[in-house]
A and B are shown apart, each in its own frame.
Chain A
Amino acid sequence: MTNPIILLRGQEVPNIHQYDVYVQHGGYQGLKKALGMSPDEVINEVKNSGLRGRGGAGFPAGVKWSFIPKNEPVKYVTVNADESETGTFKDRLIMETNPHQLIEGALICAYAIQAKAVYIYLRGEFWDVAHQLDQCIEDARKDGWVGKNIGGGNFSCEVYTHLGAGAYICGEESALLNSLEGKLGQPRVRPPFPAQKGGGLYGEPTVVNNVETIANVPWIMVNGAAEYKKIGTEQSAGTKLYCVSGHVKKPGVYELPFTATFRELLYDICGGPSVEGRNFKALLPSGGSGPIVHLNDQVLDTRMSYEDTAKIGTIIGSASLIVMDDSVDITWVASKVTKFFKHESCGKCTPCREGTYWLDKVIDRILAGEGRPEDVKLIENVAKNMAGITLCALGEFAANPIIHTIKNFPDDFNQHVAKKAETKPVPAKKLAAAGD
């Protein structure tokens, strides 16, 4: 059986990014169908499909939409295209190659909650992507899919892009809303949640969904929730874009149903370890923030779904698989990821701001061969005291790599503090120069 293709559909069609070509291949039919239904029917269809948020948390999209109060006059949709998690590069692919499916999906969402406008928040580095999207929005407008009286009916909605400027934290939904309002991109205290009055964009009820989540919606409208639910597993409906980077022969973005295993992806599709004679050692299945695991047979034979990855002590999250072979020192991995979170901590909550700073300092000391045996316990302790006590999940994300690298690869740390480390992929001196 060939794998179903939803998110990468149309990729084989030349110029599918152009409005006319997209329309010739069934584009905007999902929106047309939605406009013929009531907003509640659209929400129910998405609910019944089992579509879960693809940004990482996996919250059911239709349920999120149903939280929006119906009696509020002004509501918004914001699409999270901030894609900044280490190892994630799937949303960029959707927007670069088939941008209209995102615009169409966002408009279906906007109709379902009766939103006044859609803001697509892109990370600043997606400069070229945003300008292409602006053009696509104008092309769709000419045919009446954007702006006043969409599709000739009573529903009106604007679509805009907004470029961020280099801050991972703006992928956190409340920080994203602050950034869009022209404030510092720092998380808000919740409740009120974005879907509630007072919690969303300009205080109005707002749906925030990831690009990949929204890109599923036109397909669901055209083919129906029942067809969508047939794909994937019990708790993980549909397909997923898996981003594979690191030590495989063929890194890239691949679309697979949630029933696929790590082995199918990493061996059958990505061709196994990139260097002959090397074996897989470790896997970060969800970028820098998810728990690291040994890339052993048990993991390889696990299905890449929300529920199956939970059973092996990790998460599928945004499905950003960073693959490491046996040349890699996991202490160095912990250092790299910690430098990332230290740089990206917004500075609002003390445990995260100070914790990442000190974690980085102590890990640098360990890597330089100057660590004390008790330093491993020390960083584990600092990490455990950061998790779960900050306004947003970044505190936890920064703690995860430390807690799980030490738990799963203790020898990699102990070899440094025992002052007998011999193989390091990058000399410590060079790492220090690359640090900030």
Chain B
Amino acid sequence: MAIINNDKYTQRINWHLSKYPDKRSAVMPLLYIAQEEYGWVSPEGINEVAQLCDMDPTQVKSIAGFYTMYSEKPKGKYWLQVCNDLACALRGADEFHHDLLHHLGIEEGGTTDDGLFTVEHVMCLAACDKAPMLQCNFHFMENLDMAKMKAWIEEKRAELEKENS
């Protein structure tokens, strides 16, 4: 596993490096690629991005740590970031967040034992008129309620079971 000399990523990496007059600017898009490969911004990923951007690994690590969308530890297959900021909370997002954690039997920031779901609360995701809502692996799920979530969770669990059988 690597992102350097990996056919899956070469074209995208070169494209990002070509977008800017300074390689360092590609650090953010390349960190996303490292996260895609390793599931989180692992030390290997940090070192590879540093090499590609002519940066020190410590500098790359500081960038990864500054932003919330780079994960510094492995997450579940579905990383659910629930917005419970003011506008969403006025439409029941706090209760939704609480009930979702309770339903999955995890604490805030935790991952289910089967490795499927991680739940975290986040700040405003710019979808305030469609609350409760969440971001699942960078894609929005909107106008939610617990009935919809329970059905969706069951679907994902069934998919996992099918894969394992």
Q: Do A and B bind each other?
A: yes
Chain A residues near B (Cβ < 8 Å)? 83-89, 91-92, 123-128, 160, 162-168, 179-185, 202, 243-247, 251-253, 284, 288, 320, 322, 324, 328, 333, 336-337, 340, 343-344, 346, 426, 430-431, 433-434, 436
Residue in chain B with minimal CB distance to A169: B66
Report B-chain residues with C-beta under 8 Å of the C-beta of A160: 19-20
The listed residue (B19, B31, B122, B124) touching A85 by CB distance below 8 A is B124
Q: Across the interface, do B69 and A86 meet the contact criterion of CB distance under 8 Å?
A: no
A328: which of B21, B55, B90 is its contact (CB, 8 Å)? Answer: B90
Q: Are A252 and B121 in contact, CB atoms less than 8 angstroms apart?
A: no
User: Which listed residue (B26, B29, B87) contacts A86, Cβ 8 A?
Assistant: B87
From A184, A251, A336, contact of B86 by CB (8 A): A336
A337 to B86, CA, bound (A): 7
Bound together, the chains give a CA A234 to CA B129 distance in angstroms of 31
Q: Which residues of A contact B94 (CB under 8 A)?
A: 426, 430-431, 434
Residues of chain B touching chain A, judged by Cβ–Cβ distance below 8 Å, are: 19-22, 24-29, 31-32, 53, 55, 62-63, 66-70, 84-87, 89-91, 94-95, 97-98, 108, 121-129, 131, 135, 138-140
- Separation of A431 and B95 alpha carbons in the complex (Å): 10
Greatest chain A CB density within 10 A among B20, B24, B140 is at B20
B53 to chain A minimum Cβ distance, whole angstroms, is 7
Taking a contact as CB atoms closer than 8 A, the residue among A163, A164, A252 that contacts B129 in the complex is: A252
Option from B67, B95, B129, B138 in Cβ contact (under 8 Å) with A89:
B129
Residues in B with CB closer than 8 Å to A163 are 28-29, 32
On whether the beta carbons of B122 and A181 are closer than 8 Å, the reply is no
Asked whether A125 and B125 contact (CB < 8 A) given A179-B28, A246-B87, the answer is: yes
Give A125's nearest chain B residue, CB to CB: B125
Q: How far is the CA of A184 from the CA of B27 in the complex (A)?
A: 11
Q: List 15 A-B contacts (CB under 8 A).
A: A84-B126, A88-B124, A124-B67, A124-B69, A125-B135, A167-B68, A168-B123, A184-B66, A243-B128, A322-B128, A336-B86, A340-B85, A343-B123, A344-B123, A434-B94
Considering the chains assembled together, what is the distance between the CA atoms of A21 and B21 in angstroms? 34
Is the CB–CB distance between A86 and B86 below 8 Å?
A: yes
Contact check: which of B67, B128, B135 meets A87 at CB < 8 Å? B128
Residues of chain A lying within 8 A (CB to CB) of residue B26: 182
B25 contacts across to A, CB distance below 8 A: 162, 180-182
Question: In the complex, are the beta carbons of A165 and B68 less than 8 A apart?
Answer: yes
- Known contacts: A89-B126, A251-B128. The answer to whether A434 contacts B121 by CB under 8 A is yes
Complex contacts, B121 vs chain A, CB 8 Å: 434, 436
B53 touches A244 (CB 8 A): no
Residues of B close to A126: CB separation below 8 A:
126
Q: How far is the CB of A389 from chain B (nearest CB, A)?
A: 23
B20 to chain A, nearest CB (A): 8
Cα A51 to Cα B136 in complex, Å, equals 37
Closest 3 CB pairs of A and B: A165-B67, A166-B68, A182-B24
- Shortest CB-to-CB span from A256 to chain B, Å, is 16
Q: Which of B69, B128, B135 interacts with A165 by CB under 8 Å?
A: B69
Min C-beta distance of A366 to chain B, whole Å: 17
Asked whether A434 and B90 contact (CB < 8 A) given A181-B25, A340-B85, A340-B123, the answer is no
- B70 near A165: Cβ-Cβ < 8 Å: yes
Closest to B126 in A: A89
- In contact, B24 and A426 (Cβ under 8 angstroms): no
Cβ contact of A125, chosen from B19, B31, B126, cutoff 8 A:
B126
CA distance A184 to B70 in the complex (A): 14
A168–B126 alpha-carbon span in the complex (Å): 11
- CA gap between A168 and B125 in the complex, in Å: 10
Determine whether the beta carbon of A426 is less than 8 Å from that of B89: yes
Smallest beta-carbon distance B91→chain A, Å: 7
Q: Is the pair B139, A89 in contact by a Cβ cutoff of 8 Å?
A: no
Task: Report the minimum CB–CB distance from A371 to chain B (whole Å).
Answer: 21
Contact B63 A184 (CB under 8 A): yes
A344 to chain B: which residues have CB within 8 Å? 123
In the complex, the chain B residue whose C-beta lies closest to that of A243 is B128
| Contact residues in A for B55 (Cβ distance below 8 Å) | 182
Question: How far, in angstroms, from A392 to B162 measured CA to CA in the complex?
Answer: 52
* Inter-chain contacts of B63 with A (CB < 8 A): 182-184
A426 / chain B contacts, CB cutoff of 8 Å = 89, 94-95
Q: Is the beta-carbon distance between B97 and A434 smaller than 8 angstroms? A: yes
Determine if B84 and A434 form an interchain contact, defined as CB atoms under 8 angstroms apart.
yes
User: How far is A245 from B84 in the complex, measured between Cα atoms in Å?
Assistant: 13
CA–CA, A47 to B85, complex, Å? 37
With a cutoff of 8 Å between Cβ atoms, the chain A residues found around residue B90 in the complex are 245-247, 322, 324, 328
Instruction: Report which of B31, B62, B128 forms a contact with A184, defined as CB distance below 8 A.
Output: B62
Q: Report whether B22 and A92 are in contact in the complex, using a CB–CB cutoff of 8 Å.
A: no
Nearest chain B CB to A242's CB is how many angstroms away?
11
Q: Does A87 contact B87, Cβ atoms closer than 8 Å?
A: yes
What is the chain A residue whose CB lies nearest that of B137? Answer: A127
A88 is contacted by which of B84, B108, B126 (Cβ under 8 Å)?
Answer: B126
Chain B residue numbers with a CB within 8 Å of A340 are 85-86, 123-124
Known contacts A128-B140, A336-B86, then 10 further A-B pairs from the complex at CB < 8 Å, ordered by chain A residue: A86-B86, A92-B126, A124-B67, A181-B24, A182-B28, A183-B24, A183-B63, A284-B86, A322-B86, A340-B85
